[in-house]
Amino acid sequence: MLDYVYGQDELVAQFVAQLIPHVRGYGFAKGKAIGVIDAQGRLIGGIVYHDYNPQSGVIMLAAAATSPRWLTRETLRRMYEYPFAQLGVQMVAQPTPADNERLLRQLAALDYMFVLVPRMFGRERDGVLALFTREAWQKSKFIRRPDLRLEEAA
């Protein structure tokens, strides 16, 4: 059984930054974060939202965990509820090393679109800017969402 922690943005951001090699030592710009806690009360995963641009409706997302058990449907629901349902962004962007095939497969299954960026993570390491639009989130069969009829009526 997982639990979710809000309001501990800095702590969760540091945890996530430590788990991502290309972010370690730099951290994230100030933003919101959600921590994922296991049954023993240990922080096993985190989601960080940063560089939110309200004008363009784009936010960056980074996520990492120490256990594969963190990525449940409930985690996915919460991961995208904050940017799409609460902030109302039109797109979430997630820079990812091109050699991280496991993550790219997961993102592809969610219907992210990929843009290859040469040398993004170093002279010899390309990156992929993974983009998840609001429409893709609304159509995704893996992610539970709030009632869209209510959202549209609001």
DSSP sequence for 11-72:
HHHHHHHHHSTTTTTT---S-EEEEEE-TTS-EEEEEEEEEEETTTTEEEEEEEESSGGG--
Task: Tell me which residues in 79-108 interact with another protein (CB under 8 A).
Answer: 90-91
As measured in angstroms, the least distance from the Cβ of 22 to another protein is 6
Nearer to another protein, 33 or 44 (CB): 33
- The binder of another protein chosen from 39, 109, 115, 148 (CB under 8 A): 115
Which of residues 85, 103, 110, 120 is near another protein by CB under 8 A?
Answer: 120
Nearest distance, CB of residue 72 and another protein, angstroms: 29
Beta bridge partners of 58: 53, 91
Q: Which stretch binds another protein (CB under 8 A): 5-13, 31-39, 129-137, 143-151?
A: 129-137
CA distances from 83 to 26, 67, 68, 98 (A): 23, 24, 23, 24
In angstroms, the Cα distances linking 81 to 18, 59, 63 are 24, 13, 14
**Contact residue for another protein among 86, 122, 138, 142 (CB under 8 A):** 122
Establish if 31 lies at the interface with another protein (CB under 8 A). Answer: no
Say if CB 71 and CB 44 are below 8 A apart: no
Interface with another protein (CB under 8 A), residue from 42, 73, 125, 144: 125
**φ and ψ of 20, to 5 deg:** -110, 110
User: What residues make contact with another protein under the rule CB under 8 A?
Assistant: 22, 25-26, 29, 51, 53-58, 90-91, 113, 115-123, 125, 129, 131, 133-134
